[in-house]
Structure 1
Amino acid sequence: MALRFIAKDPNTNGAQCPTAWVDDEAREIVVQGWKAGEALLAQCRETGPVPETEAVVRLPIRMVPALREACDVADRLGVH
């Protein structure tokens, strides 16, 4: 796996914080975020189930620049 670090949440101390990466080989955006609580999970499940192999995570809006950068990196990898 060629995991490319993009950014950590700029408003944290650098430990245990939301983070964004791009996996060059798998062609995936990888995120670390805060676990969703039961109330948020219930709202998300209104549009469909959340399988055991997936998770709902929360990211602060201040992470938008990091997610945009991850999307730009992913675009440069190609959409094939």
Structure 2
Amino acid sequence: MKKIEFKLTKGDFIQLTQLIKAVNISSNGAEAGVMVEDGIVKLNGNVESRKRAKIRVGDVVEVLEHEIHVL
């Protein structure tokens, strides 16, 4: 699994689909939303179904072969 570190710079959270787009796993927000709908996105080890889930410092998001650590 490829580890990606994402530094949260604006505010105290980022929406899940925005994060997936920001680290270039999807080319746009709609594609990221489909990934969430398809159940291939995990937040801290659990399948996450909320596209707008608030991702905060310390969270780990898994999508396909990527593991995103939010710093």
Same fold? TM cut 0.5: no
TM-score (norm 2): 0.24
Larger Rg: 1
Structure ranking higher on relative contact order (CA contacts 8 Å, 6+ apart): 2
Q: Which has the higher strand share?
A: 2
Q: Which has the higher helix share?
A: 1
